[in-house]
Amino acid sequence: MGLTILACVTGVVDGQAPVEIEGGALVVEEAALPHVLNPADANALEAGLALRDARPGSRVLAVSVGPAFQEVALREAIAQGVDDAVRLWDDAFVGSDCLGTARILTAAATKANAHVVFCGELSLDGSGGLVGAQLAELLGLPMVDRVSTVEVAPDGDCLLTERRTGGGYRVVERTPLPALITVATGANVPRYPTLRSRLHSRSASIPCWGMAELGLNPSDIGQAAATLQVTALRRPPPDPRGLVDPGNDLPPEERWMMAISGGVREREGGLIEGSPEELSERLVRYLGQGSYIQK
Amino acid sequence: MQVDAEVRDPPGEMDLMSAEVIVAGGRGVGGPDGFAMLDRLARKLGGALAASRAAVDAGWVPAHRQVGLSGKTVAPRLYIACGISGATHHVVGMKDAMSVIAINSDKSAPIFKIADVAILGDVHEVIPQVLEKLEGAGNGEVLKRVQEGDSWV
């Protein structure tokens, strides 16, 4: 059986763009800044496309909540080969927070009857990382967060996901369908569109579903319903670092290495000498008392 | 939803940035056989295997395991530098480790200046004995002894 896969993507302001902030707001309107597909969403999209390719008869629908200037995300999705792309927007959506966005996506996922919903782990602009979790809650779906790989289990309608949990561990989880998966940034390498599909994506017409098409209640969406409001934007304060004096006893290239790396703290370890037997005994004791030795 | 498996990457593949323990080798390790020995030690400590530029340039270890200015910058809980002299371009990649153990047979190696535990000895003589204690039959006994015994110094 083919799966209906929903990939939720968004366009974010290009990190290379010169963004100026003054008085707690952007100097240039966001609409005038160049946008790109959110990096984590590119990985989510790739995970969705790979799942579709592995299950014949499956389809990927890309959706994006945002005004026309964020359409670039959907154009990229079309270039990479999604089967359909729909923009979700209505003038009444302006000012929606994460929860509002999740409500809009919930209506789209229900309308599309999705079996698997893919989201990026977080967007580069707001970086809330909340929409995926809120969407799973609203849809009543099990959710696996920040996965690095996804595949359909060989024995049936389950997804096997792998997640990196730090310290070199990977956890393999099994989730029944339908499910919502958020994909970690950099989890995979997005496919490179052909010139043909790239050209096609530029002229493709993208339908737009609004309040009426999605059957949403106006009191749930938009500025008035937002539980989270951005009060001001500001640049992070600079990270003050003292300049290090690397001393005169090193060659010049080593001195600049020291300077740019913030200097090296010398440590008080006295030299331990002895026979290999004594040395290894000291070492094993140190490792044991630091609880480094694994059972 | 259920957890199917929790696996740990082998030392040679573990992500260096997230590893809690890193066992690194340099020119003094002498070759791939030496690194196989360090791999065993890293496995015993649940850590990752890394190398200095000298060992990578010699072709003993793949380039993505390199720590230093032209490799990765790491800050694990424990960094064990085996047969690494401590050239500046290596040191700037690991100086923020919480504790550093250095094993080197050269008394004047600069790595000793930034080591919490500076062991003057040959890697090829010390590490096999460490492995024997950790992997040997009386492993549990050794652990008990080192954990309950006097402070290590």
Res. B111: pLDDT tops 80:
yes
| Closest alpha carbon to A123 in A139, A138, A101, A143 | A101
B1 vs A176: CB contact, 8 Å cut-off? yes
At residue A54, φ and ψ (nearest 5 deg) are -80, -15
Q: Which of residues 133-152 of B touch A (CB under 8 A)?
A: 133-134, 142-143, 146-147, 149, 151-152
Q: Which of residues 108-137 of B touch A (CB under 8 A)?
A: 112-122, 125-127, 129-130, 132-134
B113 vs A258: CB contact, 8 Å cut-off? no
- Weakest-pLDDT range from A151-165, A236-250, A261-275, B47-61: A236-250
Per-residue pLDDT, B149: 59
Res. B84: pLDDT tops 90:
yes
Q: Can you tell me whether residue A261 is helix, strand or coil?
A: helix
A276 vs B125: CB contact, 8 Å cut-off? yes
How long is chain A?
A: 295
**Residues contacting residue B33 through CB under 8 Å, at least 6 positions apart:** none
CA B60 to chain A, closest CA, distance in angstroms equals: 22
Does residue A156 sit at the B interface (CB-CB below 8 Å)? no
Beta bridge partners of A171: A163, B6
Indicate the pLDDT class of residue B146, thresholds 50, 70 and 90: low
Structure tokens at B80: 């064990």
A288 vs B130: CB contact, 8 Å cut-off? no
| Closest alpha carbon to B102 in B41, B7, B24, B6 | B24
Indicate the pLDDT class of residue B83, thresholds 50, 70 and 90: very high
Per-residue pLDDT, A254: 80
B4 vs A290: CB contact, 8 Å cut-off? no
Instruction: Convert the pLDDT of each residue in A35-94 to its tens digit.
Output: 999 999 999 999 999 999 998 899 999 999 999 999 999 999 999 999 999 999 999 999
Q: Which of residues 272-291 of A touch B (CB under 8 A)?
A: 272-274, 276-277, 279-290
Q: Which of residues 33-72 of A touch B (CB under 8 A)?
A: none
Does residue A265 sit at the B interface (CB-CB below 8 Å)? yes
Per-residue pLDDT, B143: 67
Does residue A174 sit at the B interface (CB-CB below 8 Å)? yes
% of chain A beyond a pLDDT of 90: 57
Q: Which of residues 30-59 of B touch A (CB under 8 A)?
A: 44-48
Indicate the pLDDT class of residue A143, thresholds 50, 70 and 90: very high
Give helix A72-80 / helix A195-203 axis angle, nearest 10°.
Answer: 140
Of residues B20, B44, B132, nearest to A167 (C-beta) = B20
Beta bridge partners of A173: A161, B3
Query: At B54, which helix (H) or strand (E)?
Result: helix B53-57
CA A102 to chain B, closest CA, distance in angstroms equals: 22
Instruction: Convert the pLDDT of each residue in B14-46 to its tens digit.
Output: 989 889 999 999 999 999 999 999 999 999 999
Instruction: Convert the pLDDT of each residue in A126-139 to its tens digit.
Output: 888 999 999 999 99
Indicate the pLDDT class of residue A233, thresholds 50, 70 and 90: confident
Residue with tokens 């496919």: A191
| Section A26-35 average pLDDT | 86
Residues of chain A with C-beta less than 8 angstroms from the C-beta of B6 = 165, 169-172
Of residues B118, B121, B126, nearest to A270 (C-beta) = B118
Query: At B50, which helix (H) or strand (E)?
Result: strand B48-51
Interface probe, candidates B53, B124, B146, chain A, greatest A C-beta count within 10 A: B146
